[in-house]
Structure 1
């Protein structure tokens, strides 16, 4: 630090590579790695051969590195990323400071998405997709095998939509927002309709309904679907959202960032969890009681889907809102009773509250939807949140999400493998 302190007192002086390495606490070769990644600028003085570095820029990078180190595993904290989007506080969560449950209950999914993207109200917001993008995405999705998962269909539709957009590498806020407003309805339109003759008109929730259920549109159920989409728009740095931010940090375009999120979402511990809860509910309805079903799950050593959430000590607020709406849907009563039976039965072993996956399962079972419907709802809804996080990340320094590996393998030098035996 003795070399560092005098430098700070003389802003006009530039640092040598060695001095820069000492200030940053790294090796000289790492300094050049920072330069190649755009994190640090360098300059060669007239007549000189060595690079020099601006004092203030080096000190700012050192401060950022210290802040980042304070949030990395092994430093006493967890990875943290600055965001203005979602705050989870106690058993409530907020979008840009506004209670997310109230926002989703009173506004359409499109309006919630616009609020998350811009922080400005957008009454009556609608999303429409150009026919060329829809036709290309549908053609790509229709070529997939019948057993293809919803997330795979959405991923293929995203790639097709990207291929049709020659301006996809424009990462300005306006361009990315225009992409979002086109991509989300394109994803919905690319999914094969369940009901023959379903017309793509009205709200996004209404258009999505025909891709999830073969029943005529039920206004009460449609309200549940629209609210679920709004509630699921974002939820801080879930695994899929972190993947999106990593992609955006590398300046991947918005379609590629969404594809990264979809890749993570398909895991059984994330977006596919509602499908497991859906099947559990069907088993309970078939048995007439949750006791033998829960007993079989516990005997097999499986986690009971639809229960508990690491961020909430009480009931998931998203589940609370959806259950309240479902209580107003007469056809949902059997599934609601089965869900309560699951919670009560499991509480004898471990007191866990219902989460949004169980609420989604009640909805999908009640509306005659397949087990994969919850995953589709989750993916479509969360696309808006991914776009919001990508936009935030585009405003940060590039490639900042580059943690260092903690190597625990054999220490070098090691002999070359597969050497010829003599």
Structure 2
């Protein structure tokens, strides 16, 4: 039912909020978000509650959304998705238009995550895990074999935490934000300790340290490097894992399921596990005291050198540059920094590639006594906040828009039944 009487013939046709939402395939709250972004105009109902919208504007926006969400350009270009979260250009990247490196250098991981989710900065913000969620996640993780990979632990912890949350199917913004603020600390709390007691209070980086490094009393410089690494890795536009999260959110999977989809993707060596490969390379260089023979063996085996170059940064990876700067303030990181520099200089003779964030992470994990898989854990924990931001954004879009059409290249039908 409309909010007003039918318009006279030739007059402007107005739609109610419900009608506009149905035509756009979004929730009513998203209609008002379009108004706040200047994509729609609204008019208050005379003498009543609610707003009305110009039908022609709504129909034009619906057509534009369908074109943009079709998945690819007419020329067959790469998949593109409209987002307001992260921009990467000119060897820099930005969270909501603000330089991401500046944010990471000046604020904690929790503060930057909150900024990415809400656009508001909450100084001193920390995440707290509910006891019930932690208990069920720890029981699930403790049941896994000792050789389980970090992403195995985190994925199981995510699923376990979901079962402890009866409100997980509430996809409203407030509910999803509540999930985000409790899921991330639950994942950290569920990880086994690294040879000493778990730390379950204080900033998230301090708690994560007790799961990754056997050193019980870390110095402030090392903790700051870990916290900054988390903030630097929080989001990076539509990486493969983030796209998987958005596909899940497009199908209206709850936030835990969307995060689980992202965790399933980062196990590949070309994504989340890349830092572990760089860690092992760095350890080999430290053991041999020279990068040349190690690089030679890698190339002879037909493997690419991990930790070098990035397809989105023709120049320097800004995340690596920032993290290397912090690592230079840690005296015990000097051998690993020198080994990393040797790797870059040795390969530069034939392929002038800059160090990327995976090599910087490898220096951090190596110099702090962490295992090769620590970088993958840091990456997954950090990126969970970015995945939640993308899930939130996708929940405001038309459901199931992430449905590309296949280009069939099989036998032309009809084919006979197989014998």
TM-score using structure 1 length: 0.85
Cα distance in 2 for partners of 1:122, 1:63 equals: 35
Question: Does the 8 A contact of 1:277 with 1:357 survive in 2?
Answer: yes
**CA apart distance, 1:349:** 1.5
**CA apart distance, 1:220:** 1.0
Cα distance in 2 for partners of 1:66, 1:118 equals: 28
Q: Which residue of 2 aligns with 1:394?
A: 395
Q: Which residue of 1 aligns with 2:158?
A: 158
Cα distance in 2 for partners of 1:58, 1:148 equals: 51
Cα distance in 2 for partners of 1:382, 1:341 equals: 29
Q: 5 Å matches for 1:170-185?
A: 170-185=170-185
**CA apart distance, 1:68:** 3.9
Q: Which residue of 2 aligns with 1:208?
A: 208
Question: Does the 8 A contact of 2:25 with 2:397 survive in 1?
Answer: no
Question: Does the 8 A contact of 2:68 with 2:81 survive in 1?
Answer: no
Cα distance in 1 for partners of 2:214, 2:111 equals: 27
SS at structure 1 position matched to 2:198: coil
SS at structure 2 position matched to 1:416: coil
Cα distance in 2 for partners of 1:416, 1:60 equals: 47
Question: Does the 8 A contact of 1:250 with 1:399 survive in 2?
Answer: yes
CA deviation string 1:160-180 (max 9, x = no partner): 000000000000110000000
**CA apart distance, 1:55:** 9.4
Does residue 99 (structure 1) correspond to residue 65 (structure 2)? The answer is no
Structure 2: runs of 5+ lacking an equivalent: 1-9, 14-21, 27-54
Structure 1: runs of 5+ lacking an equivalent: 1-8, 13-34, 40-53
**CA apart distance, 1:110:** 0.2
Moved more, 268-277 or 199-208: 199-208
Q: 5 Å matches for 1:64-213?
A: 64-69=65-70, 72=72, 75-213=75-213
**CA apart distance, 1:197:** 2.2
**CA apart distance, 1:56:** 8.6
SS at structure 1 position matched to 2:284: helix
SS at structure 1 position matched to 2:304: coil
Q: Which has the larger radius of gyration?
A: 1
Q: Which residue of 2 aligns with 1:46?
A: none
Q: Which residue of 1 aligns with 2:375?
A: 374
Q: Which residue of 2 aligns with 1:346?
A: 347
Moved more, 193-202 or 327-336: 193-202
Q: Hey, which bits of structure 1, 4+ residues long, moved more than 3 A? A: 9-12, 54-69
Cα distance in 2 for partners of 1:323, 1:298 equals: 26
Cα distance in 2 for partners of 1:97, 1:55 equals: 31
Question: Does the 8 A contact of 1:11 with 1:56 survive in 2?
Answer: no
Q: Which residue of 2 aligns with 1:279?
A: 280
Cα distance in 2 for partners of 1:119, 1:62 equals: 28
Cα distance in 2 for partners of 1:59, 1:167 equals: 36
TM-score using structure 2 length: 0.85
Q: 5 Å matches for 1:168-317?
A: 168-216=168-216, 217-317=218-318
Pairwise CA RMSD: 2.0
Cα distance in 2 for partners of 1:63, 1:131 equals: 46
**CA apart distance, 1:392:** 0.3
SS at structure 2 position matched to 1:200: coil
